Structure 1
């Protein structure tokens, strides 16, 4: 194949000498090598011939993959495949650029970066794919060394984002300095999560891949894990300035990782000091999407009526103990006897008392439906023909998450 043996390619490279590593790996693979971190920043590259394609030259000069190229790779699913795969990924040649081979460099489950091989004056040799697999193994200690040296900066960024979200009041100036953005820049928070309960290991992997996508976004963006959701602070943006596209990208990454995604877009706010308010707005949208269904990605305007209904339910819940007691009695009876009374009553209210529609939804005969509704009234001491009672019971069922219908 014309490539060097792995030991020959790496024996004389000092730990952490990434330019030397790129040069050695280029000899191993038989093409031009670029070493990148997970955020698509160029860490090192091998010298390139005068015939190098424009994209490689742009990437080297900017020390980063151009933002438009990152967007192309993300929207095509290439980045998701690269980070999720344990093997070399091929990007075919197109009308603009020659082919690329890429492979993620991993230490266990942690992604340290990636290696990219491009033709450099002549086509990649037939053994380039196998050689790049070997190169990924060789690169692990070098990128681990780099990661350890740069981890403190990443930790400071995480603490800065957490402070903006959680401290009252946050030290905005200090956080802005750490994040490298202006304190008065507009910002927006996206909150991503799963539409249903999912295995922790699957969610962890999905959020890790989503965090990599966030880091590769051309606008400064910072991911913050909070339990079963991933908050993303996008700085220096107004409404529509790439935020919606990032929301769609995150949904695509999560979906590709086996998660049914929901991504909520908080309101744009006038500075980092109001990031917590945008985050709270995104959390409300995510709650609506989880409890009531909806599109994969949405902002407050997309679900404003559902949000208003949720606010009303929350506001009056503590003032309507009769509704809470009635619903609690239904839920307790259903848990003991499996009678499906709460869902039956919820469907009855949602379908405005239409017996045929309610019976079809519940899957019973109309006579059985009437018996269930009568039994529910007896158990709770309520009269579902009374409009006041129906209103209070609906509030209780909404509070319990049974309306809208699951």
Structure 2
């Protein structure tokens, strides 16, 4: 960060005394952003004045005095965080926000935080940077400062029903607050009964389509969204007159406020009162939108943290409304397209996610590329006090398996073949990562046995026990693939030869090993004459020095082929292995 823009008094490292009713760090955080950050250090106390919110940029000169600086991409556990805090303090920042790392703040950062006047905050993992900036700015606008509106400041930030009632008193009519899609967010009480249009809008929670068509055709909506002023719609045959104004945060439209005459014509001061209401409503609508959006983001981040093995299990569990000692299991789902199908499996996985959350409210579904992971909390000991541990495990495993069948049905109903892996039941949420890893391994086995493009449409639901041998082999392959020297030296040469000469000697070797060296059985599987197979085996020996009579050579060759992702071809009907098939 270059030298900050010079400021008059106070001197660097000091903060000006807050003016009466001016926003402070405490008021900004209390207005909503406090849920998105964790306070690490506040040397000046919560009364430190805040004049704005800015982004930390090491390559720019800026005036940061009494601002909350957001350091996008800076982790509290990184070696650079301490220097960023020092630079922010030299610029006179009121506070610095950095990302909360899994390892916690670095000791050097904590040492700096103890000697600088700038507060140190860390961003919660469930909130995005843009959302955090929005929450901070909403809190700043609500708490006072340049352009902040005075009316209705006693209404808690985000309490839109209370705000609508206050606006109705100020404007002298019946108020409806809507989002940009004309959905009703809040409405005021009506003194003389709602007119038919207002009643339809409130009951349907959105403006009727026919009404939107009228407003669009007449140009009313275009005028509303393009002007900062109040727009008037005269009384109609069945409906009283209305005033409307767009609510904005800068150039962005957050929604609108509508006022209908309620038993008497709107007064002369209604327009000015509605203009003031729009300014007052801006931080409320911004806060409402961000809270609605970050609520789902927060839950997704909490589920991801548990599946990745977060050390902060208590925080993630609280976000999901669970206790850390909640037993759980993880299910993983793939939607495999049929032969010749180019359909997107996204819709099938979406239906499976809806199945998991709609019919099992305790479940949390998370899409990850072409895979859907479902964290399934299960009844704990308090729900089964008279059942022993093994009995609880059997009941929980059956519940997880049953959900696996339901998810398979949802995917199959969308026209895809479902592969569902059920991870083992674990005793607490800190072990969800183990169940997730097991489910992913089982899914790898199923994916290899049931590749895309096949004609088979049967659903497969499997647990670890169903594919135990293949799973153990997969774990061995994963373990030996990291050894040095690599065990797949000859196999690597073999694969390179196949690519260069457009042959399939590696496939021949995989089939031969899979059939335990049985030449007739391997030849039948490959659809070649036994003598052709014998010729290929001699080529393997001559070209790559593979002595297939030696058991160690066979073992290493098999591991090398598996590590390269090459599985032997399987006869029809053999691909299912021991996995359970869920028939229509």
TM bin, normalised by shorter chain, reads 0.5 to 0.7
Structure 1 position 166 matched with structure 2 position 308: yes
The alignment partner of 1:339 has SS state of coil
The alignment partner of 2:344 has SS state of helix
Pick closer, same or farther for the CA change 1:382–1:147 going to 2, 3 Å. same
Q: Is the 8 A contact 1:264 1:298 kept in 2?
A: yes
Structure 1 position 285 matched with structure 2 position 442: yes
Structure 1 position 316 matched with structure 2 position 457: no
Pick closer, same or farther for the CA change 1:393–1:246 going to 2, 3 Å. same
Query: TM-score scaled to structure 1, two decimals?
Result: 0.60
CA distance in 1, matches of 2:303, 2:444: 22
Q: Is the 8 A contact 2:364 2:374 kept in 1?
A: yes
Per-residue CA deviations over 1:357-404 (Å, capped at 9, x if unaligned) read 111111111111111111122221222222221121111122223334
- Kindly state the Cα deviation for residue 165 of structure 1 after the two structures are TM-superposed: 1.9
Match of 1:188 in 2: 329
Match of 2:373 in 1: 231
Task: Name whichever of 370-379 and 284-293 sits farther off.
Answer: 284-293
Higher relative contact order (CA 8 A, sep 6+): 1
CA distance in 2, matches of 1:14, 1:288: 55
CA distance in 1, matches of 2:309, 2:355: 26
Output aligned runs, 1:253-268, within 5 Å: 253-268=410-425
Match of 1:352 in 2: 516
Per-residue CA deviations over 1:199-256 (Å, capped at 9, x if unaligned) read 8971222221111111112350001112221110011245335211110111111122
CA RMSD in angstroms comes to: 3.1
CA distance in 2, matches of 1:305, 1:183: 33
Pick closer, same or farther for the CA change 1:201–1:151 going to 2, 3 Å. farther
Task: Name whichever of 354-363 and 290-299 sits farther off.
Answer: 290-299
CA distance in 1, matches of 2:337, 2:562: 18
Structure 1 position 391 matched with structure 2 position 555: yes
Query: TM-score scaled to structure 2, two decimals?
Result: 0.43
Match of 1:271 in 2: 428
Per-residue CA deviations over 1:272-330 (Å, capped at 9, x if unaligned) read 22211211111111112222459711111111121111122222334475741211122
**What is the aligned length?**
274
The alignment partner of 1:396 has SS state of helix
CA distance in 2, matches of 1:162, 1:308: 26
**Structure 2 unpaired stretches of 5+:** 1-195, 210-287, 380-392, 451-457, 571-584
The alignment partner of 2:438 has SS state of helix
The alignment partner of 1:296 has SS state of strand
CA distance in 2, matches of 1:224, 1:253: 16
Match of 1:247 in 2: 404
Pick closer, same or farther for the CA change 1:195–1:374 going to 2, 3 Å. farther
Pick closer, same or farther for the CA change 1:231–1:199 going to 2, 3 Å. farther
CA distance in 1, matches of 2:316, 2:464: 27
Q: Is the 8 A contact 1:186 1:271 kept in 2?
A: yes
Pick closer, same or farther for the CA change 1:196–1:390 going to 2, 3 Å. farther
Pick closer, same or farther for the CA change 1:225–1:200 going to 2, 3 Å. farther
